[in-house]
Every structure is written in structure tokens, then in C-alpha cells.
Amino acid sequence: MIFVTHILNCLKINNIRNKQINVQEHVPYVIVNIDTATKAIACNLQDAYTDYTVDEKDVQVMDTLFISAFTRLLAANMAMRLTGNPQAYQMQYQLFQAIIHDAQLNDAREGQRDAVYHSNYAQTRRVR
């Protein structure tokens, strides 16, 4: 068995995998106690990666879009119960949906590359 380094503040291990993200193969693992305060993960992968849920206490780590979306969804869920006004719920929920749309757009653009032209045609025809 090969030991994977311990993960601080880990609440749940979702998956252990190799480099390939989309492979749906279950990798068996064992959680071992190194000492009274440290646990480690043991598995049979040479280069193991893990997807896990962490108990994050530092809000500076969170993206501003996540914080905005979370607060709008929380406000929408509280608005109807506190005020009894369906328009307040609808307004907050629409703002939440707009933020989620922005986050999805940013996520889609993150890996997007600009087009590379391999000929001089585009360069010579470019308007200056």
C-alpha cells in the first residue's frame, strides 16, 4: 500500500483517483492513524489524487460570486417566511440566478483559449 499525505480538516473523502478526472473506477482505500492527532489515507495507486470535502473556516478562501450567491439564496429562503411577501422572494431568487449564471459563464471561460492563426492571412487582412 502507498500512503497519501494527510489532509487537514477533511470531513469526507468523496473519491480517490489517478490523474484522469472522468474515470469512474472505485479505488479502495483505508484510513490509518499515524498518531493521536494525525490520520492518513492508504491506497494502491502510485500517483493518487483525492476529491474531498473540507471544513473551511477562512471566508477569504471563498470566491466573491459564491458568497454573493449564497447570501441571495439565503435571503430568498428567509424573505417569504419573514415578510410573507412573494415579490421579495422572487427578487432575491432572480438575483441568485443571475449570479449563478455569471459564475457558470466565468467557469466556461476559464479554460477557453484564444484562436491561434497559423497563416498570415488573418494578420494581413486585419483592420488597423
What does the pLDDT look like over 46-99, one tens digit per residue?
Answer: 778 888 888 888 878 888 898 999 999 999 999 988 998 899 999 999 999 999
What does the pLDDT look like over 8-59, one tens digit per residue?
Answer: 777 888 888 877 666 667 788 888 887 777 778 888 877 788 888 888 888 7
- Name every residue whose Cβ is closer than 8 Å to that of residue 103 and which is 6 or more positions away in sequence: 63, 65, 66, 69
Strands 29-33 and 10-17: unpaired
